[in-house]
Amino acid sequence: MSHFLLMLVYALLVSAFFALLWRRERRERVKLFLQIFVSMVVGGIVVAWLMYPFPSGPPVPFPQ
């Protein structure tokens, strides 16, 4: 799975969970779900974009 797809799946699970936990009305749930989901995905992309200029560090040595 790609990094982006995993991020989408993670955001989907977390936003569905909190929408179900924090809201009781169907309409309110959908609204909160979309707010959390979009915030997580857009936030993730923004943070990734901000981190882009930074070097990723030396490769992790493979254990023998």
Beta carbon of residue 49, minimum distance to another protein (angstroms, whole number): 19
Q: Which is nearer to another protein, 24 or 54 (CB)?
A: 24
> Number of C-alpha atoms within 13 angstroms, CB side, residue 45?
9
Beta carbon of residue 1, minimum distance to another protein (angstroms, whole number): 7
Contact 12, 34 (CB under 8 A): no
Beta carbon of residue 5, minimum distance to another protein (angstroms, whole number): 10
> Footprint of another protein on this chain (CB under 8 A)?
1, 3, 6, 9-10, 13-14, 16-17, 20-21, 24, 63
Give dist(CA 36, CA 39) in Å, integer: 5
In this structure, which amino acid lies at residue 8?
Answer: L
